[in-house]
Amino acid sequence: MRHRNPSRAGRAVAASIAAALAGAGAFAHPAAAQAPVPVDVVHPSSHRITADGEEWYGSLTIAFGDDFTEGAHDVTADFSLAPDTGVVYREHHDPQYGGCSPDAATGLLACEAPDAGRTVDFSYLYAAEPGADLGVHPYTVTIAVDGETVLVLDEDMEVVAPDTEDPYMHSHVAYDGIAPGDAAAVRPEFLQDKALPDDTAAVVVSAFAADYLPQGLVAPQDDWDNCMDDHGALVCAVTDFEDARGTAFTFTEPIRYEVAATAPGPIHLCGCSYAVFPIDAESLESWFGGVTWDGSDDVLGFQAVSEPESDFADPETGRIDIWSAEQPYDLAVDGAKFKGGNGDEVTVTIPVENRGPAEAPTFMDGPGSYALVGDLPAGVAFVGIEAPEDGWHCEEGDSDFLNDSMPAVDEDETDFVCLFYGTDPGTVHEYRLTVEITDKRSTDKGSVQVVTLGDEEYPGALDADLRNSTADLTIGGGGPKLPVTGASTAWFIAAASTALLSGLILALAGRRRTG
């Protein structure tokens, strides 16, 4: 089931406190609130969804002022819209967002941010099930700080019947070798297969960014007066349209899908999509604020295609595939020497750096896309390792987590594994590794290695220099330095012939990666 962005349903409305107080009670503010009061709230005051079971993305942003001490307050938001209306809420599982889930007993949506910052971002998924009650359902969102209500939003959820027919059939387009910093000129053809509804006031074009990982590396650009950027999607209203059943159309100009300057390659940057569909006058006013571009020549429109070259197969969306040109990242790691006497606990710093020029993005929706793997020399005992930041997760080699997610890892040869999602070019992350010296005269040699999880098919061999991906761990002066070959080590997971990933991570790598 696809998760649609609200830009498909209409433009999100920024509901500010000042506007609300001046706007006939859109917010009901409790008297004499002692807790900090938001200075801004961003959330659509009205929603319009179709009773077809399709999931939509919702977000609520709450901003506080200087009187709000970060990390000292718990912020909650409770939605009163009951599931007996046929509108249901679901948890948004993206680890960067969320904070909301339906109550197990009542189904009402509740959001919570403990030890909140001054800006709180909640997100959730919602849908109107087939057979939901049609019409407008009023409800409230109650915002509280430390259990004290500070703001109540009065909102509406409109449920409409699903369309029985989609008038446009979409084609699929693909673009290969787009250089970082350049843009793909996306100009698909689409076929009007059925007559437009009599009440059609505009035809909407929605062009979406990547549906799956990696994300944030390519995005459609807002270049016209009749378009807007909403949650990363480009949404345009074409009012100068032709109702011509059986005619193929394309855009008057290409939509630019701009590739980030730090995008790695070659990779499949964008399993993106676009949709073309009619709306009525009420939706045009609600979503776009009416025709604000009247008289402008800088608008996106349609033009007929006399000899179409596409296959028209999908009545809902068309696919946009974009592949990047070659640009590697370079993950490097430095080793360390453990100096001290027997029985001493010694802490060393293990720096991991992305030397660029590309970023190392998130490729997997599992516990990480990259790993720092450590094999300690004989003569030291593992005490612990401290990850540099949130999202960097470390486990001992014999942990239950690693045994479940990487069963092929030999715990006798691996003392720790640290997983992380990604890193930008020019960034250095420092791990603090602590060991106990048990034999200060040992000349054994251990190693640390930074690797990309996956294989040569996905995400591909993107590391520019594997020689600097492995470094030595020694005691005192250590033994003679051995050549580092990177690809020859058993932990080079990017080699297709190395089958180290199984269980959870192999399953995550092999299935569709959701964002």
Does 42 score more than 80 pLDDT? yes
Does 364 score more than 90 pLDDT? no
State pLDDT tens for residues 117-170: 999 999 899 999 988 998 999 999 999 999 999 999 999 999 988 765 689 999
Angle at 224 between CA 220 and CA 230, to 5 degrees: 50
* Total H helices, total E strands in the chain: 4, 36
Q: Which of 330-339, 394-403, 457-466 has the highest mean pLDDT?
A: 330-339
| Predicted pLDDT at 500 | 33
Does 72 score more than 60 pLDDT? yes
Which tokens belong to 327? 């640009």
| Predicted pLDDT at 493 | 36
Radius of gyration of the chain (CA): 27
Does 463 score more than 50 pLDDT? yes
User: Pick the residue with more confidence: 515 or 231?
Assistant: 231
Task: Give the model's confidence band at 392: pLDDT under 50 very low, under 70 low, under 90 confident, else very high.
Answer: confident
Angle at 383 between CA 378 and CA 387, to 5 degrees: 115
Does 498 score more than 50 pLDDT? no
State pLDDT tens for residues 180-195: 999 999 999 999 999 9
Does 12 score more than 50 pLDDT? no
Backbone torsions φ then ψ of 18, nearest 5 degrees = -60, -45
What single-letter DSSP state applies at residue 40?
Answer: E
Mean pLDDT score, 85-93: 85
Which of 92-96, 293-297, 307-311 is predicted with the least confidence, judged by mean pLDDT?
92-96
Mean pLDDT score, 247-272: 96
Q: What is the mean pLDDT of the chain?
A: 82
Percentage of the chain modeled with pLDDT above 90 = 61
CA distance 4 to 12: 13
Does 31 score more than 80 pLDDT? no
DSSP string, 269-288: EEEEEEEEEEEEHHHHHHHH
Q: Is there a contact between 258 and 219 (Cβ–Cβ < 8 Å)?
A: yes
| Predicted pLDDT at 507 | 30
Percentage of the chain modeled with pLDDT above 70 = 81
| Predicted pLDDT at 250 | 98
Q: Is there a contact between 374 and 385 (Cβ–Cβ < 8 Å)?
A: yes
Single-letter code of the amino acid located at 155: E
Does 354 score more than 80 pLDDT? yes
| Predicted pLDDT at 314 | 83
The residues that bridge with 291 in the sheet, in sequence order, are: none
| Predicted pLDDT at 349 | 96
Does 496 score more than 60 pLDDT? no
User: Pick the residue with more confidence: 24 or 100?
Assistant: 100
CA distance 106 to 153: 20
Which tokens belong to 235? 């949404």
Which of 110-114, 117-121, 387-391 is predicted with the least confidence, judged by mean pLDDT?
387-391
| Predicted pLDDT at 484 | 43
Question: Helix, strand or coil for residue 229?
Answer: strand
State pLDDT tens for residues 43-64: 876 678 888 888 888 889 999 9
Does 28 score more than 90 pLDDT? no
Map tokens 């009440």 to a residue: 199
Mean pLDDT score, 206-227: 92
Does 30 score more than 80 pLDDT? no
CA distance 502 to 106: 39
Q: Which domains does the chain have, with CATH numbers?
A: 3-160 (2.60.40.10), 168-324 (2.60.40), 331-510 (2.60.40.1170)
Mean pLDDT score, 294-298: 93
| Predicted pLDDT at 261 | 97
Q: Which of 22-36, 275-289, 377-391, 500-514 has the highest mean pLDDT?
A: 275-289
